[in-house]
Structure 1
Amino acid sequence: MTNATTTNPIQWTLRPSTMDDADAINRLFTISWNHLLVDHYGQKLVDKTLPALEHVRANSLLSCGTYYVVHHPITQEIVGAGGWTWEHPIETGTDYAHIRHVASHPKFSRQGIGRAIWNQCWKDIVQASCGAPYVEVLSTIPARSFYERLGFQAQKEMGVPLDDESMLPCLYMIRKNDLELQL
């Protein structure tokens, strides 16, 4: 699969992730989220957050077929990852598509990696939706504007439990699953 952004000449290559990608994705998460989250949440909370966030849920994501990695076109390094599942990351028994663990390398932020991942996810979701009314995401606060540009609307602030004492502030956001929308 290849997706290109209209505002950037880089042509990002996406493929479904495999279990062999776990180490590279975990390194990407550490670099990306440490860079992205510190300014907003502070180092102390990020230090508590990273152990929970930096390890991709291998059993539920890497082999699901709808979680993708993005390769740099020259180095073939994994510079982005993200996808979707029907499985909610926290709750059980929901019938909506959930965007999961989207990250890009800070050296390539705002160069279309997240958009390329979203475009593939949206294509998949439209094909598999069976009339599900929403696509959901639990967004970090700094990622809010990214998801808003994709048509998501914040519904409520909430916290994701990190341990007995700490919560990561995030936003529950939805996008109406209007099957008439174009990519």
Structure 2
Amino acid sequence: MIRLATFKDIPTLQQLIAISVRGLSTGYYTANQIESALKYVFGVDTQLITDQTYYVFEKDGVIAGCGGWSKRNTLYGGDQHKEVEDPLLDPAKDAARIRAFFVRPDYARQGIGKQIMQHCEQAAYNNGFRSMELGATLPGVPLYEVMGYRAVENIDAKMPDSEILQIVKMRREL
């Protein structure tokens, strides 16, 4: 079941994000990159909860996955990654953002990410957006490619501890 995330979900979401990144990023990133990304990049973006564009997927009484879309400029990262107010996008000319997708490893490859993606794309479309962009981590690229997203730019995100996280900017027309 997909539902809107609430501020009460944040502690559970922070745990889910850490479990997801540590469990699904092995083989794509080094242990140092994973821990650095958890410290400096990955986390809940509370603006998405405030905007009511962030969702959780509950299965068997467990929050098994989360993800959202945004009408704001930020491409990726949680609260700790942003330093300024996040300006609104113009649906007439800008692409909405797919943001902060994480699935518990024990629920991976069961269609949870795909269902949340479809929910987000429909919501963005209903809000006037006709294209989507996202900053994909390397383990997420195969899912997004299956969903019709194409790579448009490779980004080497340098973190404060000098670790580099490879991100793939991807785009899809709705």
The equivalent of 1:181 in structure 2 is none
Q: In structure 2, how many angstroms separate the alpha carbons of the residues matched to 1:153 and 1:161?
A: 23
Asked whether 1:110 is paired with 2:109, we answer yes
- TM-score (ref. length: structure 2): 0.85
- TM-score (ref. length: structure 1): 0.81
Q: In structure 2, how many angstroms separate the alpha carbons of the residues matched to 1:93 and 1:68?
A: 19
* CA displacement at 1:161 relative to structure 2: 3.3
Q: In structure 1, how many angstroms separate the alpha carbons of the residues matched to 2:99 and 2:158?
A: 17
Given that 1:27 and 1:54 are in contact with CA atoms closer than 8 Å, whether structure 2 keeps it comes out as: no
The equivalent of 1:70 in structure 2 is 57
Q: In structure 1, how many angstroms separate the alpha carbons of the residues matched to 2:144 and 2:113?
A: 10
RMSD: 1.7
How many residues were matched structurally? Answer: 160
Given that 1:22 and 1:62 are in contact with CA atoms closer than 8 Å, whether structure 2 keeps it comes out as: no
Given that 1:17 and 1:63 are in contact with CA atoms closer than 8 Å, whether structure 2 keeps it comes out as: no
Q: Percent of aligned pairs with the same residue?
A: 27
- Structure 2, unaligned stretches of length 5 or more? 76-85
The equivalent of 1:15 in structure 2 is 3
The equivalent of 1:41 in structure 2 is 29
- Structure 1, unaligned stretches of length 5 or more? 1-12, 178-183
Asked whether 1:139 is paired with 2:136, we answer yes
The equivalent of 2:20 in structure 1 is 32
Given that 2:18 and 2:38 are in contact with CA atoms closer than 8 Å, whether structure 1 keeps it comes out as: yes
Q: In structure 1, how many angstroms separate the alpha carbons of the residues matched to 2:150 and 2:122?
A: 19
